[in-house]
Structure 1
Amino acid sequence: MRQILLTAALLCTGAASAATLKVYPYDGTKVLAGQRFDLRIEAEGVSALKDATVTLDGKAVEGLVRTTTKETSVEWTLRGMSVPTGYHELKVSLQDAAGAAAQTVRWYATPPVTGRAKKVILFIGDGLGWNTVNAAQLIAHPYNPANGMPTGKLAMMSDLSSMASVTTSSFDSALADSANTASSIATGQKILVNALNVYPDNTPDTLDNPRIEPITEILRRTTGAGVGIVSDAFGTDATPAAFAAHTRRRGDYESIANQYFQGAVKPDVLLIGGSRDFIPSTSPGSRRKDATDWIAESQKLGYTFVSTRTELNAASAGKLFGLFNIDNIPSYLDRAQYQRPEMLGDFKDMPFLWDSTKKAVETLEKNPDGFFLMVESGMVDKYEHPLDWQRAVWNVLELDKAVEWAKDYAKKNPDTLVLVTADHAHSISVYGGYDTSKGPGVRSAVGVYEQAGFPTYGDKRDANGLPLPETARTYAVGFAAVPDYCETYLGRPVFLDPTVSNGKTGAEAAFLPNPKICEEGAVQRTGNLPPTANQGVHTADPLPLFAFGAGAENFFGPMDQTDLFFSIARAMGVDATKNR
């Protein structure tokens, strides 16, 4: 089957023509039988169209809407179509004044199966590549200096039912962003960079692109299962949005906020970071352009609104909407350990990820039809980008405590599947030990091989049992994809960007190492990214996937990210051909 899909050719016949044809879903697409998608056919460079036919499996496709975006193009769109189990062949033929053109694409629809999981808790660590997991493991469970053995394992790595290594790419690039990768998990499709659950089209409107139905919409439509979305990033960020929204541009924040409450998903639980896109334009910090107040409007729709950890833990409603900051929720280190006013601002009582996970499950499990909960640790990525590995890794440790709670829940509820994976990786690597007694930015303090010794994390712990970053011997951690910056090897209680603008515009614009960091005592490093880069970037490295509980056997070995959607559907026994 894979060979048939990969080798399916685009067939062109007739005389030479200036017209070119594009068809979406693309050739080789795999969908669930019954999964809804928009058919989009675009003919560019058309000269006096004479005739056109579209057939699916030899029969004319009815209901196509024809448009003309510009004088030399013709488009046909059919919203909300689906196909039954099996292979399908869509043929498009066109005749214009310049000649004939034709194209054939082939799709495959997988059959519904019976699954054991009624409840799914999907954890996505944004930027959580294998090396990021390893860094968290090294800090949470240091090696025993008496024998060199690890003193334990992260919850996400222990007592596994199954595991996989996941490759990722986008429709238009080998490198990916959070929008298209989260969309791949949600829909099983390769999606454009910066796009959410849509295929390309030739119009400038970012909200009219052809759509593909994500797992959350399918569950709502077919079973009425509950849906929850949790993230410590600002609420309209790419990963949470991928489970409830459709747009070509992930920056359509206002529209994404609207789609949470007006779209097909309408999550029962929405516990997220920033409020910027949910408050009226007249409110301080808002980036909306209208007067919509989703805090007020959501309560009219039956949601209980919470804005602090205290309110969240006390809530017992059937539908929850929580906003806990004006923007991203600060890092675990800032909330639990440093507690600096420069980082926390006016927000003194924000939940931890395990709080939000627990409350989301308690709310969703009231639905007798089961639930799908996506929990994102978005701040891992937010701090890997600016090379602040300490903040990133301690957010992994916060995520791991949420995973630990979810695994305990799954043991008590054997119809539950728990998955831990990532959307993409970063270029982080642990390469040595560091002697902090020598101060910041001292290359001779970096020890490798036997000189690295055993870092002393865990000699002091916070109220939640997590180690403090300040200890006598730490790790030397770096990144492979970087701008010019200054390396101190140590963390800092107040976050600083690694670069600053050179103040120039146009072709002379560039970023320089942040002098405040350089002045701390640092090694200046020459970057390998273009001078216009101000931070690190995502990588094409593979991602971990850890599976626990019902249906975990569907996740094993090498997998493409799109496979996760189909494996979740198999685990849950999703039948997308049905409507409740």
Structure 2
Amino acid sequence: MNFKFSFLIVAFSLSLITSSCVTVQVTDNTVIGSEFAINETKPKNIILLIGDGMGLSQVSAAIYYKDGKPNFERFSTVGLSKTSSSSDLVTDSAAGATVFSAGVKTYNGAIGVDRDTIAVPTIVEQLSGDGYSTGIVATSSIQHATPASFFAHVKHRRMYEEITEFAPNSGVDFFAGGGLKFFNDRKDKRNLLDSMKARGYTVITDKLPTKNVPGKELILLDQDGMPKMSEGRGDFLPKATELALAKLSQNEKGFFLMVEGSQIDWGGHSNDADYLIEELLDFDKTIGVALDFAKKNGETLVIVTADHETGGFTLSTDGGNYNKIKPTFSTKGHSGTMVPVFAEGPGASLFNGIYESNEIYFKMMEALGRQIDSL
């Protein structure tokens, strides 16, 4: 892999410190800063991109290993999120995603339920009930912890078949990822693809289409998680995001889209730097798709963050050579480090500062003009 000189990491770190001090021009509620002008009243749409397991060192890797400027550097607002769950100092992905979807700090393993295992309404359910379009895209199965936390309510993340039962009535207009076997190869012998079709979904299991089909879409391209980038997944994540945006943006009311770069986390768990960095760069490309859409649309808030950091990943010097980077790990599990929160578009200024991870839910709702008291 190619790398750039180590002083770039200093420049990137300084950009995080000074990002809230960028000089902007404000005229008639329009903020001119970064690369495009935005209306700072409120967004019509939100795109939430979650890099599972993505800490600051993972983000920093994009500077060294991407050919060209990373899309992370296109954001004018950067904050930091404290990720502990209600049960543990170090969160898992289930509790770490439920904070975004429902605004509650809950126990590790919880999917859309609070610490007492009581179901809590998700942002997807609330917005779809109000007429917004909603979508979920992931490189894992759609039943995996992060995507599941936006449409299901179960007491433990490994209850994949039970999670799947929430999909037909979820209100989600666009699903894309893996997880086919939990629909049609179940212990209870039911075929939930039939239930999806009965609720108006077109089910696609062969390849990612190039155009949207009428009605709701369920795109399942693997039995479980999607292949790694190194196994030929290609541009699934950015292309599926483009497809989701084309579908959801047809709604004049607005939309909410959650996109997960699931396998950044898996590379961290494996302590496999090549795996992690390939997935991180794929996620960065997908961020570019979201930012390009928002720049053209003008009414879309883009948020990029992580549920936690995985692997204790860092970019060390290779021996005593300060001009050579050696990716290293300190654990096979998660860490308790804070994670970055990037925001661009109307409402982005809400995401400055340091705050608990569940505040991201309340900040999204506040941006949309739906004030809800923090729990």
Identify the TM-score tier after normalising by the shorter chain: 0.7 to 0.9
Using the alignment, how far apart are the partners of 2:178 and 2:235 within structure 1?
A: 10
User: What are the within-5 Å matches in structure 2 for residues 121-520 of structure 1?
Assistant: 121-141=47-67, 152-158=68-74, 160-201=75-116, 209-221=117-129, 223-262=130-169, 265-279=170-184, 286=185, 288-309=186-207, 311-335=208-232, 352-426=236-310, 427-433=312-318, 447-450=319-322, 452-453=323-324, 475-481=325-331
Q: Secondary structure at the match of 1:322?
A: strand
User: Contact 2:299/2:345 (CA < 8 Å) preserved in 1?
Assistant: yes
Give, in angstroms, the shift of residue 136 of structure 1.
2.5
User: Contact 2:124/2:171 (CA < 8 Å) preserved in 1?
Assistant: no
User: Contact 2:212/2:246 (CA < 8 Å) preserved in 1?
Assistant: no
Task: Tell me how large the CA RMSD over aligned residues is.
Answer: 1.9
**Structure of higher CA gyration radius:** 1
User: What are the within-5 Å matches in structure 2 for residues 75-86 of structure 1?
Assistant: none
Are 1:569 and 2:345 an aligned pair?
no
Aligned sequence identity (%):
32
Using the alignment, how far apart are the partners of 1:199 and 1:571 within structure 2?
A: 24
Give the AA of the match of 1:126: D
Deviations 1:241-298 (CA, angstroms, capped at 9, x unpaired) = 1100111111111111011113xx320001111212111xxxxxx3x21222233332
Q: Which has the higher contact order (CA 8 A, sep 6+)?
A: 2
Give the AA of the match of 2:229: Y
Q: Secondary structure at the match of 1:570?
A: helix
Mark the runs of 5 or more structure 2 residues left unpaired by the alignment: 1-39
Deviations 1:504-525 (CA, angstroms, capped at 9, x unpaired) = xxxxxxxxxxxxxxxxxxxxxx
User: What are the within-5 Å matches in structure 2 for residues 14-93 of structure 1?
Assistant: none
Give, in angstroms, the shift of residue 351 of structure 1.
5.2
Q: Give the match for residue 28 of structure 2.
A: none
User: What are the within-5 Å matches in structure 2 for residues 554-565 of structure 1?
Assistant: 554-565=350-361
Give, in angstroms, the shift of residue 574 of structure 1.
2.1
Count of residue pairs the alignment pairs up: 333
Give the AA of the match of 1:304: T
Q: Secondary structure at the match of 2:113?
A: coil
User: Contact 2:52/2:261 (CA < 8 Å) preserved in 1?
Assistant: yes
Deviations 1:83-121 (CA, angstroms, capped at 9, x unpaired) = xxxxxxxxxxxxxxxxxxxxxxxxxxxxxxx95111111
Q: Give the match for residue 111 of structure 1.
A: none
User: Contact 1:416/1:550 (CA < 8 Å) preserved in 2?
Assistant: yes
Give, in angstroms, the shift of residue 326 of structure 1.
1.2
Q: Secondary structure at the match of 2:225?
A: coil
Using the alignment, how far apart are the partners of 1:128 and 1:252 within structure 2?
A: 25
Q: Give the match for residue 537 of structure 1.
A: 333
Give, in angstroms, the shift of residue 363 of structure 1.
0.8
Using the alignment, how far apart are the partners of 2:372 and 2:210 within structure 1?
A: 35
User: Contact 2:53/2:265 (CA < 8 Å) preserved in 1?
Assistant: yes
Give, in angstroms, the shift of residue 314 of structure 1.
3.3
User: Contact 1:115/1:573 (CA < 8 Å) preserved in 2?
Assistant: no
Deviations 1:459-517 (CA, angstroms, capped at 9, x unpaired) = xxxxxxxxxxxxxxxx4211112xxxxxxxxxxxxxxxxxxxxxxxxxxxxxxxxxxxx
User: Contact 1:234/1:272 (CA < 8 Å) preserved in 2?
Assistant: yes
Q: Secondary structure at the match of 1:195?
A: coil
User: Contact 2:86/2:115 (CA < 8 Å) preserved in 1?
Assistant: no
Mark the runs of 5 or more structure 1 residues left unpaired by the alignment: 1-113, 142-151, 202-208, 280-285, 337-349, 434-446, 454-474, 482-535
Deviations 1:106-153 (CA, angstroms, capped at 9, x unpaired) = xxxxxxxx9511111100000011111112221115xxxxxxxxxx53
Give, in angstroms, the shift of residue 382 of structure 1.
1.4
User: Contact 2:54/2:306 (CA < 8 Å) preserved in 1?
Assistant: yes
Give the AA of the match of 1:562: N
- The 3 A distance-change label for structure 1 pair 321 and 183 is same
Give the AA of the match of 1:275: L
TM-score by length of 2: 0.84
User: Contact 1:115/1:572 (CA < 8 Å) preserved in 2?
Assistant: no
Q: Secondary structure at the match of 1:417?
A: strand
Greater percentage in helix: 2
